[in-house]
């Protein structure tokens, strides 16, 4: 197998630097100058390898969405054949996750109001995740109303990302159990009375 091209290597270095900058300074504070400094490159090389700032943000969104999708595929592969909802909650709320992806999504979400393309990508990503969770829960709760499944799925997704968003405050460990308990209450609401 051949050695990776210099362009692919540099592009990856730049994106890693961009992600670190976004996590530290937010999307608006992640200037090309900061990214170049973080990557140990000249600003002109950043533009050469990845394009302008708008292109960089769009590619970051695509990469972050793809990373999230791969995490979901991995999570689904480790779920048992039954009691999927409870297993999902254990995976989402009991294990320490890297909050980097959540912090990247937060930064992208904040900027989506000014960028129609970014807004649509994140809308599609949200709808995809809610639908994926709904499909999974429908296996445990086949009699549940589709609207209820969608609402509960959105609630679980929201709890997960809101918990992750507390990592810069050092509060994840304080609220991991309450978040899981809230998620369990949501799941119980799908059970027949």
| CATH number for the domain that contains residue 20 | 1.10.10
Would you state the pLDDT for residue 1?
A: 53
Give mean pLDDT in consecutive 10-residue pieces for the chain, a chain of 193 residues. Answer: 75 93 90 93 91 89 92 90 91 73 86 91 95 95 95 95 83 90 95 74
Would you state the pLDDT for residue 146?
A: 96
Q: Are 97 and 105 in contact (CB under 8 A)?
A: no
Distance CA 46, CA 125 (A): 27
Phi-psi region of 115 (alpha: psi -120 to 50; beta: other; left: phi over 0): beta
Would you state the pLDDT for residue 193?
A: 61
User: 124 and 151: one domain?
Assistant: yes
Count of domains forming the chain: 2
Containing structural domain, residue 40: 1-51
Q: Is residue 193 part of a domain?
A: no
Would you state the pLDDT for residue 97?
A: 59
Vertex 91 angle, CA 171 and 69, to 5°: 100
Q: Is residue 68 part of a domain?
A: yes
Would you state the pLDDT for residue 99?
A: 66
Q: Is residue 132 part of a domain?
A: yes
Would you state the pLDDT for residue 2?
A: 60
Q: Is residue 80 part of a domain?
A: yes
Would you state the pLDDT for residue 102?
A: 81
């Amino acid at each position: 197998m051949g050695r990776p091209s210099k362009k692919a290597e540099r592009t990856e270095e730049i994106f890693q630097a961009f992600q670190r900058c976004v996590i530290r300074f937010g999307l608006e504070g992640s200037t090309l100058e900061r990214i170049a400094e973080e990557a140990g490159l000249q600003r002109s090389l950043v533009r050469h390898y990845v394009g302008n700032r708008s292109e960089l943000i769009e590619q970051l969104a695509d990469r972050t969405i793809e990373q999230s999708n791969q995490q979901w595929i991995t999570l689904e592969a480790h779920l048992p054949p039954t009691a999927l909802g409870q297993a999902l909650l254990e995976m989402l709320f009991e294990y320490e996750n890297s909050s980097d992806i959540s912090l990247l999504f937060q930064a992208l979400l904040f900027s989506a109001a000014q960028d129609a393309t970014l807004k649509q990508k994140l809308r599609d990503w949200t709808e995809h995740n809610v639908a994926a969770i709904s499909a999974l829960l429908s296996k445990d709760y086949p009699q549940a109303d589709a609207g209820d499944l969608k609402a509960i799925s959105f609630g679980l997704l929201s709890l997960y990302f809101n918990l992750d968003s507390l990592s810069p405050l050092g509060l994840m460990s304080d609220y991991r159990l309450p978040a899981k308990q809230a998620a369990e209450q949501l799941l119980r609401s799908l059970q027949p009375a």
